[in-house]
Amino acid sequence: MPRISNNQIFSIFFVAIASCAYILCPKIVADIAANNGWLAVLASFLPGILIIYIYIYILKKSSRSFPLMLEDHLGRIAGKLLGLTYVFIFLLSSIMSLRSFVSFAESTTSPGIPVSVLITLMLLPAFYAVRSGIVVFARVSEVIFFLFLPLLVLMMILGTQGADCKNLMPFGYVSFRNFINASFQPLWHIGSFFIILTLSYFSNNRSKIPRMLFLSLLLFIVLASLMSLVSIIGQGAALTAALTFPLFTIARATSIGGFIKNIEIIFISLFIAGIFVSISIHWFMACYTCQQVFQLKDYRLLAMPTALILGFSSTLISPNLDMLYIIWEKVAPPLFSFFYIGIPFLLAGILLFKPPPAPQKGNGLQAPLDERWETRDVKREKG
């Protein structure tokens, strides 16, 4: 089995989750919780911790990766049927990310370019990433992360120009129902950590997976709340909720020193890089899950037929940008939350009554016994 580092898994998670969350959350939470939307994002950290604990518990109780763990815990037939369902859920995640990129490009940077060209431009590098394998994709994601994070911080700093802190008032004045609803919006993005149920078994240091997950969650919540905060203090809650891409509007209006303008290229670069990682990792999960369910020799053989599904479906899923936002706000949260958060909770409840796997088999946080001895022997030789 190929091995990737925890730093590479961290990079995949952060960039993939951040890509859609940072462009969608400011508008949606401002529409629901007004000027206190950034507090709702910050409050989602607590239930996020619970979600991470559930994933860690499932890993401790499973000797095989997702989706094979479903057959171990639910039975062969139920496990295969549920695993097959997840193939379509992962494909839908890629389709939604791809459609977000197309809609963004159509409405902001490239209104004259045909949709088919935009889809092809994004699918080609993602197809190459899936075909190259998880090791190559992980290395590319690590490079993207080290470019992504500094540019994101720079954009937040520049976005505070002309900010008015009065836009945050009245502080905490929001209905409990709206606050909970707004907190739920970033929470279902956190459900994308579900992929760790597979990636953990590719890790070269499984014991450090919990620490990596909590650091990923903390960084995501802090930066997501800051992005919403910057958008609200820069434009006000009403304008943030009304704009299609509020952060892009801030980036377009920002200048450096009064003479360096049009720095929205930073925002565009961040979004395209993040969307690439998001599409690729969910695409990989769809192919890998299908390969495991049907016991195929190689998941990369599925890249080409699924590419056609992604391309055609992304043009059909939403006729316009307004409908896409309705899907992101009303349909996507309960749908993806059920599969990425709800089913893991049910699975964890079932595992309460099952013994842990034998030491020689290992689990998601501990390599099999023979593999551990092999690792120790390699370290001794290097020493």
Closest CA to 205 of 56, 372, 57: 372
The full 3-state SS of the chain, as one line of letters, equals: CCCECHHHHHHHHHHHHHHHHHHHHHHHHHHHHHHHHHHHHHHCHHHHHHHHHHHHHHHHCCCCCCCHHHHHHHCHHHHHHHHHHHHHHHHHHHHHHHHHHHHHHHHHHCCCCCHHHHHHHHHHHHHHHHHHCHHHHHHHHHHHHHHHHHHHHHHHHHHCCCCCHHHHCCCCCCCHHHHHHHHHHHHHHHHHHHHHHHHHHHECCHHHHHHHHHHHHHHHHHHHHHHHHHHHHHHCHHHHHHCCCHHHHHHHHCCECCCECCCHHHHHHHHHHHHHHHHHHHHHHHHHHHHHHHCCCCHHHHHHHHHHHHHHHHHHCCCCHHHHHHHHHHHHHHHHHHHHHHHHHHHHHHHCCCCCCCCCCCECCECCHHHHHHHHHHHHHHC
Give me the pLDDT at residue 286, please: 94
Residue 161, token pair as written in the block: 């120009």
Residue 254, token pair as written in the block: 């920002």
Mean pLDDT, residues 304-327:
84
Give me the pLDDT at residue 262, please: 66
Return the axis-axis angle of helices 6-33 and 209-235, rounded to nearest 10°: 30
Whether omega before 344 lies within 30 degrees of 0, making that bond cis, reads no
Mean pLDDT, residues 261-290:
83
Is the pLDDT assigned to residue 299 strictly greater than 80? yes
Is the pLDDT assigned to residue 17 strictly greater than 50? yes
Closest CA to 184 of 324, 56, 48: 48
Mean pLDDT, residues 97-104:
83
Give me the pLDDT at residue 362, please: 77
Name the band, by pLDDT with cuts 50, 70 and 90, for residue 291: very high
Q: Does domain 6-382 have CATH number 1.20.1740.10?
A: yes
Is the pLDDT assigned to residue 51 strictly greater than 80? yes
Instruction: Give Cα 23 to chain centroid, integer Å.
Output: 13
Mean pLDDT, residues 74-83:
92
Give me the pLDDT at residue 220, please: 86
Specify which of 34-43, 84-93, 306-315, 352-361 reaches the highest per-range mean pLDDT: 84-93
Specify which of 221-225, 255-259, 324-328 reaches the highest per-range mean pLDDT: 221-225
How do residues 357-373 score in pLDDT, each as one tens digit?
777 777 878 877 666 54
Name the band, by pLDDT with cuts 50, 70 and 90, for residue 257: low
Name the band, by pLDDT with cuts 50, 70 and 90, for residue 80: very high
Is the pLDDT assigned to residue 189 strictly greater than 50? yes
Please, which residues bridge with residue 247 across strands? none
* pTM value surpassing 0.75: yes
Is the pLDDT assigned to residue 377 strictly greater than 50? no
Q: Which residue has the tokens 């049009």?
A: 262
Mean pLDDT, residues 271-298:
89
Give me the pLDDT at residue 381, please: 44
Is the pLDDT assigned to residue 48 strictly greater than 70? yes
Closest CA to 350 of 63, 48, 84, 61: 61
Specify which of 154-163, 272-281, 288-297 reaches the highest per-range mean pLDDT: 288-297
Mean pLDDT of the residues in the chain: 83
User: What are the residues whose beta carbons fall under 8 Å from the beta carbon of 193, sequence distance 6 or more?
Assistant: 13, 17, 51, 52, 55, 213, 216, 217
Give me the pLDDT at residue 261, please: 67
Mean pLDDT, residues 314-342:
84
Is the pLDDT assigned to residue 49 strictly greater than 90? yes
The one-letter amino acid code at 308 reads L
Query: What's the rounded Cα separation, in Å, for the pair 10 and 314?
Result: 28
Q: Kindly list the domain boundaries of the chain, sorted by start residue.
A: 6-382
- Residue 35 vs residues 32, 181, 241, 293, 307: alpha-carbon distances, Å: 9, 14, 10, 46, 41
CB burial of 90-129 (b: ≥16 within 10 Å; e: otherwise) equals bbbbbbbbbbbbbbbbbebbeeeeeeeebbeebbeebbeb
More confident residue, 320 or 327: 327
Please, which residues bridge with residue 256 across strands? 260
Q: Which residue has the tokens 């190259």?
A: 132
Mean pLDDT, residues 140-169:
77
